[in-house]
RNA sequence: CGGGGUGUAGCGCAGCCUGGUAGCGCGCCAGUUUUGGGUACUGGUUGUCGGAGGUUCAAAUCCUCUCACCCCGACCA
């Protein structure tokens, strides 16, 4: 490809609406443009990268026995009503009517469609297992799209669905997808980690996320420094700690804490560590108020709480609800005395706390010297907090280490959640109708592009892994007015292209500096500079974008040398 | 949805407080110059000042309404 023909409008300045590096560089490098919030145009460079990612995905999915299909983006409400998700899915599901008034939605995922397809035609155990996948544009009307491609509303996703005769077979499908995912992300050149995860809205019981390691990632994870355990902090179970042996005979005392609401503020004000605090959170679970206690330095895990309460919706209480429950403004809730709540749940770490600090259920007042069980009773203790750096591993007791990541893949064991509600069954050898056992498997194709950049960039631009770079090598003729330079560049361009190397020739009549800047920004893995001086010596200069090392290569060896780098 | 903020040339911004003929940098076009890390200079091009309504002799500027976008919180590939 010639730069003069390529539609890749590069920008010198960062776009003002971009915050994260991948967003900045994709816009500056002429890869994407925004059409509306969370909706982007993909220009030629981005399109090439997306095709490369998609092809890696296709290749490995096929290898794992999945077959590619292409399902409708527009889906009728009927099947969603049938699965129960028409009511369950919130405003994130973009709904609309056709001219006849029939209701449709833009597919955020395709369980309903695929189950409908499979149940029509698959009747016998002989047809299973079956695994179908597609690479398609999804639409989720996110509350707040952000960070460019990292969280768009419209995005390209690979989704696969497996159908099996029973749980054991379904788990084999799951494992084979898991293995395929590891190959896919590895081939894409990503540094990633598979972690145990919550199943969320899609439902099911077994789940792993594939997380690309990046400080800018939205997700927090922990992994064990001693064993293989790794999990999303929302998911990570924590071992029940042994309660402390200490006792505190002193009485509970009320202290004046004017305007000190947060743990931080009160902790500083009273000169007591956050670990000696009992944080009392008032939550609304399906309309009922509950008090939840966690240690001051810990964070409530709403997902764990939701499961324990068996509630559909759990939110932190509104100010008015807090007042109703505690008779005090927000910031002074505590478990001692009477709380108007349905139950008081506490995290395991609260058991046996002595000489603790809590709110007094009174404006500007806290209590000190509080002992759990002597001064208040909880309804039940559970594992209710987020795991974090330094916690104990639930598997081996080793230390957990925290890290951040970008979720690029997610595999779920679904069981019969959809096959039962939508009546997707096969006949077994005995002639009985049995619901199929399903799994579903997603990969964010456009998100991989962004995640790869978050993980591979420097101050000058993108540093693509070879496998997903839009081109392999950039050729920069540095003096367009020197015929020998242009001729050498053209010749190398021809020869490399013939050898199967994907080349971007910067044939613009620009100064060398501009070409270098744009080449760094666009981020192709290799760069060949052809300059008049070096050409006198019969060499070209080959730069590795990653690491920046420059080697002089005899012009005659250039093709073979570069081919060797790509392979 | 709650809280905060921004809309002025293709991009990044100033002007708004204190109303009076719309500016700067980059880009783009023509040319001179330069020629291995965004060269310098000359000339030129580019605007429903997000939209609607109002106040006023006069509105980018003041008022009201509205739309879009961004950031912080709850969702997910």
- Work out if A35's Cβ lies within 7 angstroms of strand B: no
pLDDT, tens digit (0-9, with 9 covering 90-100), for A482-502? 899 999 999 999 999 999 999
Residue nearest to nucleotide B1 (CA to C1'): A143
Strands A288-295 vs A344-347: parallel, antiparallel or unpaired: parallel
**Least confident segment among A109-113, A153-157, A233-237:** A233-237
Q: Is residue A89 part of a domain?
A: yes
Q: Give every CB contact of residue A423 below 8 A, 6+ residues apart in sequence.
A: A119, A435
pLDDT at A60 over 90: yes
Distance CA(A567)–CA(A501), nearest Å, equals: 9
- Enumerate the nucleotides of strand B whose atoms come under 7 Å of any protein CB: 1-2, 11-13, 25-27, 34-39, 68-77
Do A97 and A187 fall into the same domain? yes
- Residue A444 belongs to domain with CATH number: 3.30.930.10
Give the torsion sign (CA, A471, A472, A475, A476). positive
In angstroms, the CA of A375 and the C1' of B2 are apart by 37
Please give the mean pLDDT across all residues of chain A: 87
Q: CA–C1' span, A534 to B4, in Å?
A: 56
Neighbouring C-beta atoms of residue A11, cutoff 10 Å: 12
In which band, very low, low, confident or very high, does the pLDDT at A22 lie, cut at 50, 70 and 90? very high
Distance (Å, whole) CA A419 – CA A112 = 9
Q: Which tens digit of pLDDT belongs to each residue from A106-119?
A: 999 999 999 999 99
Do residues A171 and A303 both lie within one domain?
no
A74 CB closer than 7 A to any strand B atom: no
pLDDT value of position A524: 96
Q: Specify the nucleotide whose C1' lies closest to residue A441 (CA).
A: B77
Say whether the CB atom of A249 is under 7 angstroms from strand B.
no
A548 located within any domain: yes
Beta bridge partners, A196, equal A208, A231
User: For A386-406, what is each residue's pLDDT tens digit?
Assistant: 887 778 887 788 888 888 889
Would A36 be classed as within a structural domain?
no
Nucleic strand B within 7 A of Cβ A506: no
Give the H/E segment covering residue A520: helix A512-522
What backbone phi and psi angles, to 5 degrees, belong to A18? Answer: -100, 135
The pLDDT, as a whole number, for residue A91 is: 78
pLDDT grade for A221, boundaries at 50, 70 and 90 = confident
Residue nearest to nucleotide B37 (CA to C1'): A513
Integer distance in angstroms from CA A528 to C1' B35?
Answer: 18
Please return the burial class of A237, using the count of CB atoms within 10 Å of its CB with bins 0-12, 13-18 and 19+. middle
Q: How much is the pLDDT for A466?
A: 95
Choose between A36 and A174: higher pLDDT: A174
Q: What pLDDT, on the 0 to 100 scale, is given for residue A552?
A: 92
Examine residue A465 and state whether it is found in any structural domain, yes or no.
no
By DSSP bridging, strand A380-382 and strand A344-347 are parallel
Render pLDDT for A37-49 as a digit per residue (tens, 0 to 9): 888 889 999 999 9
Q: What is the mean pLDDT of residues A90-114?
A: 87
Last residue of a domain, one of A391, A421, A453: A453
ipTM score here? 0.86
Residues 6+ apart with CB under 8 A from A477: A485, A486, A488, A489, A505, A506, A507, A530
Q: ∠A524-A517-A41 over CA atoms, to 5°?
A: 60
Residue A526, pLDDT > 70, answer: yes
Say how far A11 CA is from B47 C1', in Å. 21
Is A39 within a domain? no
Q: What is the CATH number of the domain that holds A521?
A: 3.40.50.800
Q: Both A429 and A317 in a single domain?
A: no
Supply the pLDDT for residue A199. Answer: 66
pLDDT in tens, A461-485: 999 999 999 999 999 999 998 899 9
What three-state secondary structure class fits A326? helix
pLDDT of res. A285: 73
Kindly report, residue by residue over A411-436, the tens digit of the pLDDT.
999 888 889 888 899 999 988 999 99
Residue A481: name the closest of A513, A505, A508 by CA: A508
Residue A205 pLDDT grade (very low, low, confident, very high; cuts 50, 70, 90): low
Residues in A 110-169 whose C-beta is less than 7 A from nucleic strand B are 140, 142-147, 151-153, 155, 157
Kindly report the number of other CB atoms within 10 A of residue A215's CB atom.
9
- The fraction of chain A above a pLDDT of 70, given in percent, is 97
Residue A544 and residue A549: Cα distance in Å, rounded? 6
Give the domain CATH number at A338: 3.90.960.10
Per residue in A353-362, pLDDT tens?
A: 888 888 777 7
Q: Is the CB of A71 under 7 A from strand B?
A: no
- Mean pLDDT computed over A545-564: 93
Same structural domain, A231 and A304: no
Residues A110 and A190 in one domain: yes
More confident residue, A472 or A363: A472
Instruction: Return the higher-pLDDT residue of A467 and A86.
Output: A467
Residues 427-456 of A with CB under 7 A from strand B: 442-444, 446-447
3-state secondary structure of A327: coil
Q: What is the per-residue DSSP string for A460-513?
A: TEE---GGG-SSSEEEEES-TT-HHHHHHHHHHHHHHHHTT--EEE--SS--HH
Local confidence band at A544 (pLDDT 50, 70, 90 cut-offs): very high
Long-range contacts of A2-8 (CB under 8 A, 24+ apart): A2/A504, A2/A505, A2/A507, A3/A504, A3/A505, A3/A506, A3/A507, A3/A508, A4/A507, A4/A508, A6/A44, A6/A45, A6/A504, A7/A43, A7/A44, A8/A43, A8/A44, A8/A45, A8/A522
In chain A, positions 366-405 with C-beta closer than 7 Å to nucleic chain B are: none
Read off the DSSP letter of residue A111: H
Compute the radius of gyration of chain A from its Cα atoms.
29
Domain count, chain A: 3
What band does A88 get if pLDDT is binned at 50, 70 and 90? Answer: confident
Same domain flag for A171 and A268: no
Nearest nucleotide to the CA of A447, by C1', is B77
Between these two residues, A449 and A247, which has the higher pLDDT value? A449
The reply to whether A75 and A221 lie within a common domain is: yes
Query: Is A14 a domain residue?
Result: no
Q: Is residue A466 part of a domain?
A: no
Q: Which residue is nearest to nucleotide B36 (CA to C1')?
A: A512
Q: Does residue A201 have a pLDDT over 60?
A: no
Structure token digits, residue A456: 């591979």
Residue A183 lies in a domain: yes
Domain span including residue A324? 253-382
Give CA–CA dist A293/A345, Å, rounded: 6
Considering the domain architecture, whether residues A135 and A220 belong to the same structural domain is answered as yes
Q: Of chain A residues 167-226, which have a beta carbon within 7 Å of strand B?
A: 200-202, 209-210, 218-219
pLDDT of A203 > 60? The answer is no
**What's the distance, CA A237 to chain centroid?**
20
Residue A150 predicted with pLDDT over 60? yes
Instruction: Evaluate if the CB of A469 falls below 7 Å from strand B.
Output: no
Q: What is the largest CA-CA distance in chain A?
A: 93
For residues A212 and A80, membership in a common domain is answered with yes
Q: A505 beta carbon < 7 A from strand B?
A: no
Given a cut of 60, whether residue A319 has pLDDT beyond it is: yes
Dist. CA A75–CA A108, nearest whole Å: 10
Secondary structure of residue A108 in the 3-state scheme? coil
Asked whether residue A230 falls in the same domain as residue A262, the answer is no
Which of A330, A354, A382 is at the close of a domain?
Answer: A382
Lowest average pLDDT, out of A383-387, A445-449, A467-471, goes to: A383-387
Residue A559, pLDDT above cutoff 90: yes
Q: Are residues A153 and A295 in the same domain?
A: no
Q: Are residues A228 and A272 in the same domain?
A: no
């Amino acid at each position: 490809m010639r730069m003069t023909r390529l539609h890749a409008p590069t920008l010198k300045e960062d776009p003002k609406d971009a915050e994260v590096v991948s967003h900045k560089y994709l816009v500056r490098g002429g890869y994407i443009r925004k059409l509306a919030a969370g909706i982007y145009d993909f220009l030629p460079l981005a399109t090439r990268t997306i095709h490369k990612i998609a092809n890696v995905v296709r290749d490995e999915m096929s290898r794992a026995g999945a077959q590619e299909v292409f399902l409708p983006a527009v889906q009728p409400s009927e099947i969603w009503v049938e699965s129960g998700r028409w009511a369950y899915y919130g405003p994130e599901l973009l709904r609309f009517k056709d001219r006849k008034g029939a209701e449709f939605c833009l597919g955020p995922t395709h369980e309903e469609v695929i189950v409908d397809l499979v149940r029509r035609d698959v009747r016998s155990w002989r047809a299973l297992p079956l695994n179908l996948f597609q690479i398609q544009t999804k639409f989720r009307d996110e509350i707040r799209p952000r960070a460019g491609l990292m969280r768009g509303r419209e995005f390209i996703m690979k989704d696969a669905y497996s159908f099996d005769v029973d749980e054991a077979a379904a788990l084999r499908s799951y494992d084979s997808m898991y293995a395929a995912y590891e190959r896919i992300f590895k081939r894409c050149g990503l540094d990633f980690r598979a972690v145990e995860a919550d199943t969320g809205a899609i439902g099911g019981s077994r789940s792993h996320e594939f997380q690309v390691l990046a400080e800018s990632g939205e997700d927090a994870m922990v992994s064990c420094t001693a064993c293989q355990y790794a999990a999303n902090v929302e998911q990570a179970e924590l071992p029940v700690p042994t309660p402390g042996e200490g006792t505190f005979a002193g009485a509970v005392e009320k202290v004046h804490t004017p305007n000190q609401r947060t743990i931080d503020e009160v902790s500083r004000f009273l000169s007591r560590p956050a670990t000696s605090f009992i944080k009392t959170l008032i939550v609304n679970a399906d309309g009922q108020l509950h008090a939840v206690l966690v240690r001051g330095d810990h964070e409530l895990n709403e997902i764990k709480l939701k499961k324990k309460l068996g509630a559909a919706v759990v939110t932190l209480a509104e100010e008015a609800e807090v007042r109703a429950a505690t008779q005090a403004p927000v910031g002074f809730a505590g478990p001692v005395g009477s709380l108007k709540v349905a139950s008081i749940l506490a995290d395991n770490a609260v058991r046996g706390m002595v000489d603790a600090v809590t709110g007094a259920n009174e404006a500007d007042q806290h209590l000190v010297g509080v002992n759990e069980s002597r001064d208040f009773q909880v309804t039940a203790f559970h594992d209710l907090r987020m795991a974090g750096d330094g916690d104990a591993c639930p598997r081996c007791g080793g230390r957990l280490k925290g890290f951040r990541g970008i979720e690029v893949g997610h595999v779920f064991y679904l069981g019969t959640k959809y096959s039962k509600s939508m009546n997707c069954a096969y006949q077994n050898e005995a002639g009985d109708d049995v619901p199929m056992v399903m799994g579903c498997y997603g990969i964010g194709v456009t998100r991989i592009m962004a995640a790869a950049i978050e993980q591979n960039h420097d101050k000058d631009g993108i540093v693509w892994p070879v496998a997903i770079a839009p081109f392999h090598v950039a050729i920069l003729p540095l003096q367009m007015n020197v015929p020998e330079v242009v001729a050498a560049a053209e010749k190398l361009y021809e020869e490399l292209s013939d050898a199967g190397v994907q080349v971007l020739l910067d044939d613009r009549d620009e100064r060398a500096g501009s070409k270098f800047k744009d080449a760094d920004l666009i981020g192709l893995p290799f760069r060949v500079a052809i300059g008049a001086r070096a050409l006198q010596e019969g060499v070209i200069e080959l730069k590795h974008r990653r690491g920046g090392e420059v080697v002089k290569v005899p012009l005659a060896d250039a093709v073979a040398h570069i081919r060797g780098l790509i392979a």
